[in-house]
Amino acid sequence: MAMDKDGNVLIISNDFDVETGKESLRLTIIDKEGNEVQNVMLQNPPVSEEMTTVPQMGILPDGRITVCGSSKMTVYDRDGNRLSEISDFGRTIEGDVIAQDGKNYILSTGFSSEGGFTAQLKEVDLDSGKLGDPIQADKLFATGRPVSTNEGIFVNFGSGCSRVDIKSGTTEEIFNWNDTDVSRSIARNASIYPKNDDELFALGHSLSLTGNNIYLIRLKRAEKNPHAGKKMIVIGGEGIGGDAAISTFIEEYNRDTSAKARAVIIDYSDNDSINSDSDAARQALMLDILSGVGPDILIGMGGKTAFENPDIMLDLNTFIDGPQGLDRDEYFDNIFRAEEKNGKLYNIPLRVMLFGLEVNTKYITNRGGWTYDEFENSAESIPDGVSFLEGMPNELLLTRLLYSLPDSVDYAAKTVDFQNDDMKRILQLTKKYGVKEIPKDEGEHSEYGGEGIYYDSVDYTDVKFQTECLAVKESTLSTINDFAYQRQLVPGQTAFLGYPSSDGTGMSSYCFSSLGIVATTKYADLAWDFIRSFLQFSYDGSGIQYTLSVNRKTFEKECEDEMNRNNALYEKAMKEYHDLSIYEGYLVWISREDIDTLRELMSTSKRSVSFDSDITAIICEEAAGYFAGDRSEEDVLKTIQNRASMVVKEK
């Protein structure tokens, strides 16, 4: 739908021709009194026969219509007559025509193995379809759809709205989301429609059980700042708006007049281009902290080795056990302990996933975990015709085993230790059990149906495990439904042992979201008040959280809610279809025993996943020669030690 300058509403909709069996597009025009004044079919619409979505529509200042679909744009008059076609060879045209200073532009995207995804603006002659020279516009596309109005071209950069000048390539911030009380999870990908300097509208969206919820946001400048006089605490990280729970809590915290401070966000991944570099964003964050101009609170740095450092972060154990602390019994305190570095908790886990290996107890004894020796002994006892470990490429298996490696990097002391027995064992196990390519009877398989749609997706690894032809497979547990499904692949014969390690500690917790207090903050007590409040906050916005809460009450509530919701669907499906094969892979019956067993796994996890992407890349790069038989174990470990040591000293 779109509205022209006279208030007429134009609608483009799918139209199915029963006689030909083909889809087409219908244009309907309704005047501002609600009367239908036009209803025609578009000539030669830019869609394939397997159209799955209605293309985007725009209205030009002269009333003509643009339809963007099947990688190109077509211009129509209001009678549905096709006037011209605009295409950019090898690239996809996105959205509406963008107008500035009497010139029209289109935005197109493309991909190459050398440059990755790219976005370009090109001046366009709408009558001939001729395009001008490209103007690089990666930032425009990375942050959502640019909006062209009489007031200019506006882009939401996640942090706020900016006016863009195509000719000069400059941007001017119109407002910042921190100056509003809108949840960043709704705002981060919103399209902005300014009315004037003091009032604007935005279309935001968020996902929930009912689908993609659309919000119309009206922002009007306040006569005075209602938060004047309050101290500010700054929350920093990357991709913050993607965490709906923390974004919603910040919104509620800021609306609470009794809150001790106002929280504002600095997202270091904002304003990145379409090929944004997460490591670069993290490096910029680190430099700000070391320079004393960084945030007060960090979000999402749990498990990041470089941020497990007393020069960077405060020990949260002193706050948890202090006068305004927490009752550890109300949380999975073992998860907190697992996240510690040298006895100090620098980032408190909020939500986690359990990560490791699932086994068939017909072949593998359930000890709650396994050592390197037990792992190898189990492999030797597997009967003929049964695969031991799912086929994991060497680099992937090496990365997974490194997750269970005892602390080998100390940024505070600027030391590394990779010439140890554990590292030697990890290399040996990876070479012995890793594969060059995934076997044909394992992995994800699906049929391509065209228009970007895949169907009949089957996980052959699960099938192989289910038919007892595979003894050990990787498993990630992020919801009670995940757990119930994995557990019922071989009913009564499954256990979750984690990846092997020197001490056989079992399943690891992977920190999905976390909060920590920066060592240089001037507002440590206010920052802790914010963190403590969030740990007691229950987010119900999306119905399902695709991770597990460290708050025991929240964990129980979310598991119960999902069990009730899931089992109601299960009973309904059984009643209507009597056969649940069409739901195989995601709809299973969840029992109280499932919740009890998952809770026990959460309560006994003693290790957290900790990694440094730069050092992991070095290890994988150097180990490749060892796996190929070209380099010795000693040579590889020595090189890893030297290169990793340089990285830690530089950081």
Q: Which two tokens stand for residue 261?
A: 């401070």
Give the pLDDT confidence score for residue 15 in this predicted structure: 82
Give the pLDDT confidence score for residue 447 in this predicted structure: 62
Directed axis angle between helix 613-627 and helix 421-433, to 10°?
Answer: 60
2 membership: H or E segment, kind and range: strand 2-3
User: Do residues 396 and 474 touch, judged by C-beta distance below 8 A?
Assistant: no
Give the pLDDT confidence score for residue 541 in this predicted structure: 56
Average pLDDT, consecutive stretches of 10 residues, N- to C-terminus, the chain (651 residues): 90 80 86 94 73 75 87 92 92 86 89 78 93 84 71 83 84 88 82 87 75 86 86 89 80 84 86 57 86 92 89 96 96 96 94 95 93 96 96 95 84 90 95 94 70 62 94 95 93 94 92 94 95 85 74 93 91 79 73 96 93 90 94 95 92 73
Which of 461, 446, 496 shows the shortest CA–CA distance to 598? 496
Q: Which two tokens stand for residue 111?
A: 């991909």
Which ranges in 317-459 belong to alpha helices (H)?
317-320, 333-338, 372-380, 394-403, 421-433
DSSP states of 278-297 as a string? HHHHHHHHHHHHHTT-S-SE
The sign of the CA dihedral 619, 622, 625, 631 is negative
Say if residue 161 is exposed, middle or buried (CB neighbours under 10 Å; 0-12, 13-18, 19+): buried
Nearest-angstrom CA–CA distance, 510 and 295: 24
Nearest-angstrom CA–CA distance, 591 and 524: 43
Give the pLDDT confidence score for residue 454 in this predicted structure: 45
Say if residue 599 is exposed, middle or buried (CB neighbours under 10 Å; 0-12, 13-18, 19+): middle
Nearest-angstrom CA–CA distance, 124 and 106: 7
Q: What count of Cα atoms within 13 Å lies in the side-chain half-sphere of residue 273?
A: 13
Going from the N-terminus, what domains does the chain have, and what CATH number goes with each? Answer: 231-351+511-535 (3.40.190.10)
Give the pLDDT confidence score for residue 48 in this predicted structure: 58
> CA 481 from chain center: how many Å?
20
* 51: number of Cβ within 10 Å: 20
Nearest-angstrom CA–CA distance, 472 and 387: 8
- Phi then psi dihedrals of residue 320, to 5 deg: -60, -40
In DSSP terms, which residues pair with 23 in a beta bridge? 16
Three-state DSSP class for residue 263? strand
Nearest-angstrom CA–CA distance, 326 and 329: 9
Q: Which amino acid is at 209?
A: L
Which of 279, 245, 343 shows the shortest CA–CA distance to 611? 279
User: Do residues 299 and 515 touch, judged by C-beta distance below 8 A?
Assistant: yes
Give the pLDDT confidence score for residue 453 in this predicted structure: 46
In DSSP terms, which residues pair with 353 in a beta bridge? 510
In DSSP terms, which residues pair with 38 in a beta bridge? 29
Kindly report the length of the chain.
Answer: 651
User: Do residues 235 and 270 touch, judged by C-beta distance below 8 A?
Assistant: no
Give the pLDDT confidence score for residue 65 in this predicted structure: 93
Give the pLDDT confidence score for residue 451 in this predicted structure: 46
Q: What does the radius of gyration of the chain's CA atoms come to, in whole angstroms?
A: 28
Three-state DSSP class for residue 427? helix
Which of 237, 590, 611, 154 shows the shortest CA–CA distance to 407? 611
First-to-last C-alpha distance (Å) of the chain: 51
Contacts of 587 (CB under 8 A, 6+ apart): 566, 569, 570, 573, 580
Nearest-angstrom CA–CA distance, 235 and 215: 25
Give the pLDDT confidence score for residue 273 in this predicted structure: 47
Nearest-angstrom CA–CA distance, 512 and 323: 28
Nearest-angstrom CA–CA distance, 541 and 199: 28
In DSSP terms, which residues pair with 516 in a beta bridge? 298
pLDDT in tens, 1-55: 888 889 999 999 888 777 777 778 899 999 999 999 999 999 888 765 545 567 7
* 7: number of Cβ within 10 Å: 10
Give the pLDDT confidence score for residue 452 in this predicted structure: 46
Residue with tokens 């972060």: 313
In DSSP terms, which residues pair with 547 in a beta bridge? none
